[in-house]
Structure 1
Amino acid sequence: MPENPAGALLQVADLVVDLPGGKSDLRVVDGVSFDVPAGTTVGLIGESGSGKTMTALAIIGLLPGGAATGGQVVWRGEDLLHAGPTRRRRVRGHEISMIFQDPLAALNPTQRIGRQVGEILRRDGVPRGEAGRRVVELLDRAGVPDPVRRAREYPHQFSGGMRQRAMIALALAGRPSLLLADEPTTALDVTVQARILRLLRSIQERDGLAMLLVSHDLRVVAHVAGQVVVMYAGRVAERGPARQVLDRPAHPYTRALVRSVPAVRTRTALAHPLPGAPATPANRPAGCPFHPRCPLARERCRLEVPAIREVGPDRWSACHFAEEVLP
């Protein structure tokens, strides 16, 4: 089980996800562990292809063509990986909801926004009139202007920011305790990003929700998350309090990520892009998966997979030489 599980709504322990990949399955999530305490935000960060979204989809049981083949997803003491399909459907939307990164793709283009937001209400047997009133309230809470009129419109009539607000309203319809937000500000301009993040924070504070924020944008995570989990090549590279991890990384990958984003590391315009290409499930190197791009790599890194270990109070790193990375 993940360390320090006290008070956790969600515990992910040694999660493994395999996807079909030609001659053999591809391991896209490999032994991932973390927990999400009630009322907190945990950031799940890393480059594209690091396994962040697959981890979130495994939690909610929406893996496309693959399966969680190992580990545990413990929700309020119940392992969802061993729950039946009826129970998992009940958890989705009612207890755990997901905000998808592309609302235009996630929303049905042939149905009005109000009908989509109200689907879970109708499924629960809420009378039509009451469901209509609740839909308007949800859209209003999500910051959609003139919600009565906009509920009758279609997704293509909404801007990108408004579609994301509609997705947030849909996610809140079942009154969940945990939101999985997968790149909720992708493809939005900076001003709209800030508004969406403020909205998510205000909803979380008002309703006491927990949130798992999946993002490759360290600036977003730095402003929202209390804890972060850094993923690389399907594994956890580092985890701990967000401010400490981003200010004093304990893994060369995290340090390289921070140096590549000026707003996280410094107020200057200088940045240092990561060298090389990210490892993928199909070409994951032996030993530490980051070693081909790591300036500290040694022979041990090429041969031995580093176990994640505690390197300070509530600080965990999967680096053989984490103590040398910490400033």
Structure 2
Amino acid sequence: MGDTPQEASVPDVLLRVAGLSVDLPGQDGPVRIIDDVSFDVRAGTTVGLIGETGSGKTMTAMSIIGLLPEDATVTGSIEFEGIDLVTAGQARLRSLRGHEISMIFQDPMASLNPTQRVGRQVGEVLRRSGVPRAEARSRAVEMLERVGIPEPARRARAYPHELSGGLRQRAMIAMAMIAHPSLVLADEPTTALDVTVQARVLDLLRRLQTEENAAMLLVSHDLRVMSHVAHDLVVMYAGRVAERGAASAVLRRPAHPYTRALVRSVPAVRTKTAIADPLPGTSVTPARRPSGCPFHPRCPIAVDRCRTEIPPLREVAPDRWSACHEAERVLT
């Protein structure tokens, strides 16, 4: 299962997402991409958003930082340090981005400006806040060194295409952390990297998070990553929360058939064997949810009510929440 971080005490809630829903226009009317999503992120901890492609993980993260399509309709609340980000204006959101809330994207080549030197991009958030150019440049070099980039002064003068994939991702992390944000949103930050580089980048993220006491919302489809990094897990399916709770408890004893199937599909999480049990069927997107529980066409324990009734997210054990009519059966 791996060593999951343990909390010595319960820190304050830094981010509270409550009843978040996102609608996008469709051919036959609005399509609910995110449906009634709720979770908390506490200071200094990591919450993992896990699920297959199309589950709504990235859209949820983008909702927090206000990077949704212009035609998106958002309801519910996203409260960050007393500020409701849903009702905050664009000027307020821009003032928070990079300073209080930063984002690490999964593809640095698509996120870094190919026409600007790396050091300039890392220090940009400082210059926007009034830091003199020379000081911003110096602090950018220091941050590049801190994230483990060799010869940081020389690499600061390089363009993104002159760096390897691992170094580009480290530069993205430097850019995200240079202003000492309270919350880091990391969208599949190691997906494009090989396994060895992945491990180094994850260790770097954990170290920086500890040093800065920053909270992190980590978006990933990889349970092996989550088992080593996350304190809490939010399992998403078809734009809804299927299960949430402490990462160690969720991975050891799932309370939803989807989570159980995910765990069984990753041998490194469950056992030392190289044999995995692939998830049955095809994942359902929010735009094509079936009636009732969205997982019921793939669920081995579905009963009649699963096909017609949407299961509410309910507490099925202390601090364990599951959107499954048969959660008690899954837990036994």
User: TM-score with structure 2 length normalisation?
Assistant: 0.95
Matched, 1:72 2:77: yes
Residue segments in structure 1 that go unaligned for 5+ positions in a row: none
Residue 276 to residue 61, structure 1, CA distance change in 2 (3 Å): same
Residue of structure 2 in register with 1:61 after alignment: 66
Alpha carbons of 1:315 and 1:248: their partners in 2 closer, same or farther (altered >3 Å)? same
Unaligned runs of 5+ in 2: 1-9
The separation in 2 between residues aligned to 1:280 and 1:207, in whole angstroms, is 36
Query: Which secondary structure does the structure 2 equivalent of 1:287 belong to?
Result: coil
Q: Does 1:314 align with 2:313?
A: no
Given the alignment of the two structures, is residue 158 of structure 1 paired with residue 188 of structure 2, yes or no?
no
Correspondence for 1:99:
104
- Tell me, yes or no, if structure 1 residue 26 matches structure 2 residue 40: no
What residue number does 1:120 align with?
Answer: 125
Which residue identity is paired with 2:125? I
**Are 1:195 and 2:200 an aligned pair?**
yes
Superposed CA RMSD? 1.2
Partner of 1:224: 229
Asked if the contact 1:15–1:71 (Cα under 8 Å) also holds between the matched residues in 2, the reply is yes
The partner residue of 1:242 within 242, 247, 257 is 247
Equivalent in the alignment of 2:4 = none
Contact 2:11–2:44 (Cα < 8 Å) also in 1: no
Task: Say which SS state the counterpart of residue 131 (structure 1) adopts.
Answer: helix
C-alpha spacing 1:66/1:243, structure 2 compared with 1 (3 Å): farther
Greater relative contact order: 1 or 2 (C-alpha under 8 angstroms, separation 6 or more)? 2
The Cα offsets for residues 56-105 of structure 1, whole Å up to 9 and x where unpaired, read as 00000011344352100000122111111111111111101010011110
Equivalent AA in structure 2 for residue 325 of structure 1: V
Q: 1:7 aligns with which of 12, 21, 38?
A: 12
Give the residue type in structure 1 aligned to 2:13: A
- Does the 8 Å CA contact 2:11/2:43 hold for their aligned counterparts? no
Report deviation, 1:173.
Answer: 2.2
> Could you give the per-residue CA deviations for residues 196-230 of structure 1, whole angstroms, max 9, x where no partner exists?
00000100111111111100000000000010000
Distance in 1 between residues matched to 2:31 and 2:108, nearest whole Å: 28
Shift of 1:25: 2.2
**Mapping of residues 176-215 of structure 1, within 5 Å:** 176-215=181-220
Distance in 2, Cα, partners of 1:301 & 1:21 = 26
The answer to whether 1:17 aligns with 2:22 is yes
Q: C-alpha displacement at 1:271, in angstroms?
A: 0.7
CA distance in 2, matches of 1:68, 1:143: 41
| Whole-Å separation in 1 of the counterparts to 2:95 and 2:230 | 27
Q: TM-score w.r.t. structure 1 length?
A: 0.97
Deviates more, 1:61-70 or 1:244-253: 61-70
